[in-house]
Amino acid sequence: MPRTGSLAQLCSRILNEPRFRSWSLLHMSHADKDMRLVVVGATGRMGLALIRAIKEMGGCVLCAAIAREGHPHLGRDAGTLAGGEPVGVPLTSNALHAFAKADGVLDFTAPTATLAFAELAAQAGLVHVIGTTGLTAQDMDKLAAAARHAVLIQSGNMSLCVNLLQDLVRRAAAALAPEFNIEIVEMHHRHKVDAPSGTALMLGEAAAHGGPLRRSRPNSISRSWTCITVAR
């Protein structure tokens, strides 16, 4: 289970990122200046953790929580679903209505859903934070198009440490001779949906682009992955 404290720190870093802050001050017309956030995929593990994280920090409020149409918990209070006190935000499937009153969207869902949300966020001119993994090159092209109309922040892993590791892997790969091979072995809990994970892909891309020879062959990264799944 993701640690709420870590997610609260993530939300804080995003809210205080200079481009994000300048956009919000320019576009937010409501007087309180608290950023109104929508959590999509609100009944998932990450969605529930994000709801708790938003409640813990200042500078933002939960204005909507989105779940798929027909979900059995539609209408229930998002705070209660997340294991806390009620926050006065009922779970809904109406993303269009929710986006119309929001400033930003937190999206840790699935590729198909993320692309649909990206289109809505672009139409509304919202900040769209994407932690969805399993995105293809074609998906990324569509997100790049959406980013022309909205602020889009996307990463295969939102951890500060993992992003630092990505840079270190790139530097290490640049220092190795061309005959070296880099192998990534990842281990997951039994509920992991996509493999290779977004983190493994990030590190693999960093290794593939690390050295001068590798940089000229960006697609040379092997897609043969060892994935160990354990039950817990």
Q: Rounded to the nearest 5 degrees, what angle is found at the Cα of 4, between the Cα atoms of 230 and 41?
A: 75
101 as an active site residue: the answer is no
Question: Residue 152: which H helix or E strand, with range?
Answer: strand 151-154
Chain centroid offset of residue 105 CA? 10
Q: Which of 30, 188, 189, 191 is catalytic?
A: 188
Query: CB within 8 A of 40, min separation 6: which ones?
Result: 47, 66, 95, 105, 106, 107, 109, 113, 117
176 phi, psi to nearest 5 deg: -90, 150
* Catalytic member of 73, 142, 149, 192: 192
CB atoms within 10 A of CB 44: 15
Among the listed residues 51, 60, 44, 78, the one whose alpha carbon sits nearest the alpha carbon of residue 12: 60
Q: Which of 203, 137, 141, 127 is nearest to 172 (CA)?
A: 203
CB atoms within 10 A of CB 179: 5
Task: Copy the structure tokens of residue 106.
Answer: 């937190």
Strand (E) or helix (H) holding 223 = none
- Is residue 204 within 8 A of residue 186, CB to CB? The reply is no
| 71 catalytically annotated | no
Instruction: Report the phi/psi class of residue 134: left, alpha or beta, with left for phi > 0 and alpha for psi in -120 to 50.
Output: left
Catalytic site residues?
188, 192
